[in-house]
Amino acid sequence: MKKIFITILMGIMILAMCSCGTVSPTETVDQFMTAYKAKDNETAQAVYSGKVDAFAKSFDGYGATVADKILGFEYNIVEENIDGEKATVKVEITTYELGKAFEAAAEEMLTAAFAAAFGEMTDEEANEISMKALDEECTKLEKKTYKTTCVINLSLVDDVWMIDEFKENGSFYKAIFGGMIEITESWSAGFNG
């Protein structure tokens, strides 16, 4: 009886010691979000299964104001679900209405695009005008009023929770870009459909 009790007790202690070292999915997401906002690619890469430079490059071409507004989001982790070696973490994002800034800059952006298409200016000039227009509209954004929830998927890899690679226009990007992606998707559907 004494041997059985000691064996069970040792098993419980071993399980407790093993579980103490594993960072939870919520802690992993928090680490990633903090690093992402701070442009700390090394820390973000440690918990992200995709290539961090892929999302870091998503800011190429944007003006400083636009990039600052994108990274100016606030987040609140609201729910964690673990199912074996898979997990999801729900995150509420509050950020600027970047989609509205994009719409406000659209006329100037489209005028520049048509001018480039008809050879009245280079693509580089058109892009510069477009990004300047968007940057100016983003400067006007003072309050974070865009709120949405995204779900971040994780997988347990070698006893470490890793964030699965984000889809290009998935819920994470849609959240931090403050409605901008939805606007471009809507326009694209209008042109194609």
Q: What is the pLDDT along the chain (193 residues), one digit of tens a residue?
A: 444 433 333 333 333 334 456 899 999 999 999 999 988 889 999 999 988 875 556 566 667 788 899 999 999 999 999 999 999 999 999 999 999 999 999 888 888 888 889 999 999 998 889 889 999 999 999 999 999 999 999 999 999 999 999 988 899 999 999 999 998 888 877 677 6
CATH classification of 23-192, choosing from 3.90.1310, 3.10.450, 3.30.43, 3.30.2310? 3.10.450
HEC letters along 48-99: ECCCHHHHHHHHCCCCHHHHHHHCCCEEEEEEEEEECCEEEEEEEEEECCHH
Long-range residue pairs from 33-42, CB within 8 A, at least 24 positions apart, any chain: 33/75, 33/91, 36/71, 37/71, 37/73, 39/71
168: left (phi over 0), alpha (psi -120 to 50) or beta: alpha
Residue 64 has a pLDDT of 79
CA distances from 193 to 97, 127, 186 (A): 26, 26, 10
* Ordered strands of the 74-83 beta sheet: 74-83, 86-95, 146-157, 160-163
Residue boundaries of the structural domains of the chain: 23-192
Q: What does pTM read for this prediction?
A: 0.79
Q: How many CA within 13 A on the CB side of residue 88?
A: 9
Residue 18 has a pLDDT of 42
Residue 56 has a pLDDT of 59
